[in-house]
Chain A
């Protein structure tokens, strides 16, 4: 959809805000100072401020590479903070040593970056270890260099503390990631390219009934109200049902578009209501985007794992001197190798696995004992035909034949 022109006037507010929240940028510095200066010189304050902003605009342009680096480092620091989880004690220790470096940086730049917390001692050590040349950068004191150095400092010390709420949120995200990873791992090991429905249902019920997840469930109900969708759709979407997921995302996007086109009324209630609704919609969409990302991530890994497993087993089968092959009514194949391994080839996905659960038993009771050349021929015919059918390269009739298996006169495959 065409969107027109939309310019945010301040960049990086989000990463700056989260850096403040985690304490990488000192959260308490100089608010009062700003209040005083801006309040006192009331006559010139406006002009001064505008001039200062113009400077900042120019600085943003001049140092945009450094600022980008700084932002990346801050974000990275935020991520590692999540990983480590406990850096609060360390942060306190670092704070004392930080003043020296912030002062120095502050003198040279006279701007915001100086308020990033850093410990001069740690800077040196980190510089020696990994971030070589840091001391030199500091010494050369170009504004750009300082910003970069401060960025490194921020990255180095940015294992800041987490607030309780963030921790809880992270737990939920973590749980979701684990769930998807487990489900897809199971799928990959079972030679499936879809998630197990039973597993999904179990997870759905867990959200509904598990008292530890009551808050999550409550949030689901609220989200369902926000989107005007059935709550079950949301729960299904959250547990990996692709169709439900698409419905949710589409709906959220549509509502956000609509909201954007609605006039954001002036006046007390209209404006507040608009903001609130927008925030709710954004929240729901972000949440489900994250769920989708976790799911896609695990799914991609599952595909990778399945392909790799399949390739290894195929090689095993191809290298065998002889084998006993059974085929069930769905066309699934079970290949018993003289080494004792039993490889199972799913008729639908054409992927080889060691998981025999879905093999329905030999349909015709005939176990074909085949020699090495035949195995190779048959197995490769099977897989290549699957690939071809995907690409639609050969006439459909033949592919279907292979897929459903027509038993020829010799009891073999047609």
Chain B
């Protein structure tokens, strides 16, 4: 499990408590600040863990962070736009993240030059690493980065309150 239960962290529970008392503008500032920081950190982690071009294109480049009041969501490959060449990360991220078994016996039918068609062996899973249920890029990145992002979450919250008390407003 990567995620941190709010019930197991005093700091998180405290933030949840405190969020109730914050006004909307402060919350807005909080979300905006946090999004910037968290997204940088998340993309950084993804890029460090992605070691092939395919992984970078499909998983790292599409890393985003969504911040709500009560939670932060790390997403990857959830854009529905196709990459150059037609691959849709949101549909086909599976084998890139989790690997795929080689299928050397798989055949494909090819049209020859002028003289009909013939079949040949070609492994469609060649580009992928071996199966790994823990994932290669996104899940390890998340496991590493989640504590840091949560720490940012708490710090940002604390700072937002301090600044609100001092009467600063960057909204």
Instruction: State the A residues within 8 Å of B (CB).
Output: 1-17, 20-21, 25, 27-31, 33-35, 38-39, 45-46, 49-54, 56-57, 59-61, 63-64, 67, 70-71, 74, 110-115, 260-261, 264, 266, 268, 271-272, 275
Contacts and interface: CB of A to CB of B under 8 A. Distances in A.
Given A38-B155, A56-B9, A7 B75 contact: yes
Given A7-B74, A268-B171, A60 B1 contact: yes
Interface residues of B, number: 65
B55 interface: no
A49 B153 CA distance: 10
B54 interface: no
Contact of A275 (B16, B31, B93, B138): B31
Contacts of B6: 10-13, 16, 112
Interface string B1-24: 111111111111111111011000
B150 A53 contact: yes
Interface stretch (B83-91, B100-108, B113-121, B125-133): B83-91
B16 A30 contact: no
B146 interface: yes
B134 interface: no
A17 B158 contact: no
26 contacts: A4-B77, A5-B59, A6-B73, A6-B74, A9-B71, A9-B72, A10-B4, A10-B71, A13-B71, A20-B20, A25-B13, A29-B17, A30-B10, A38-B158, A39-B162, A45-B155, A49-B154, A50-B148, A50-B151, A56-B12, A57-B3, A59-B9, A67-B7, A266-B32, A268-B171, A271-B31
Contact of A53 (B4, B36, B88): B4
A32 to B, nearest CB: 9
A14 B75 CA distance: 19
A271 to B, nearest CB: 6
A215 to B, nearest CB: 22
A229 to B, nearest CB: 24
Given A7-B3, A50-B151, A52-B9, 15 more contacts: A2-B90, A4-B90, A9-B146, A13-B12, A31-B21, A34-B15, A34-B18, A46-B151, A57-B4, A64-B5, A71-B7, A112-B9, A266-B32, A268-B28, A268-B32
Closest 4 CB pairs of A and B: A4-B78, A53-B147, A56-B9, A4-B77
Interface of chain B: mostly helix, strand, loop or mixed: helix
A84 to B, nearest CB: 23
Nearest to A36: B158
Nearest to B170: A268
A264 B70 contact: no
A34 B89 contact: no
A10 B32 contact: no
A268 to B, nearest CB: 7
A266 B89 CA distance: 23
Given A8-B72, A21-B20, A49 B2 contact: no
Nearest to B13: A112
A27 B149 CA distance: 24
Interface string B137-171: 01100110011111101110010011000000001
Contacts of A271: 28, 31-32, 35
A111 B138 CA distance: 29
Interface of B: 1-18, 20-21, 28, 31-32, 35-36, 59, 62, 64, 66, 68, 70-80, 88-93, 97, 138-139, 142-143, 146-151, 153-155, 158, 161-162, 171
Contacts of A67: 5, 7-8
A9 B5 contact: no
Nearest to B91: A2
A27 B18 CA distance: 9
A6 B3 contact: no
A60 B71 contact: no
Given A28-B17, A56-B4, A266-B32, A9 B162 contact: no
Nearest to A115: B13
Nearest to A74: B7
Contacts of B68: 275
Contacts of A25: 13
A5 B35 contact: no
Contacts of A39: 158, 162
A125 to B, nearest CB: 25
Contacts of A71: 5, 7
A6 B139 CA distance: 10
Contacts of A38: 154-155, 158
Contact of A261 (B4, B12, B80): B80
Contact of A11 (B5, B36, B139): B5
Given A2-B91, A4-B76, A264-B66, A10 B150 contact: yes
B62 A4 contact: yes
B9 to A, nearest CB: 4
A8 B6 CA distance: 12
Contact of B79 (A20, A56, A59, A261): A261
Nearest to B69: A275
**Residue from B7, B17, B143, B158 with most neighbouring chain A CB atoms (10 Å):** B7
A21 B35 CA distance: 26
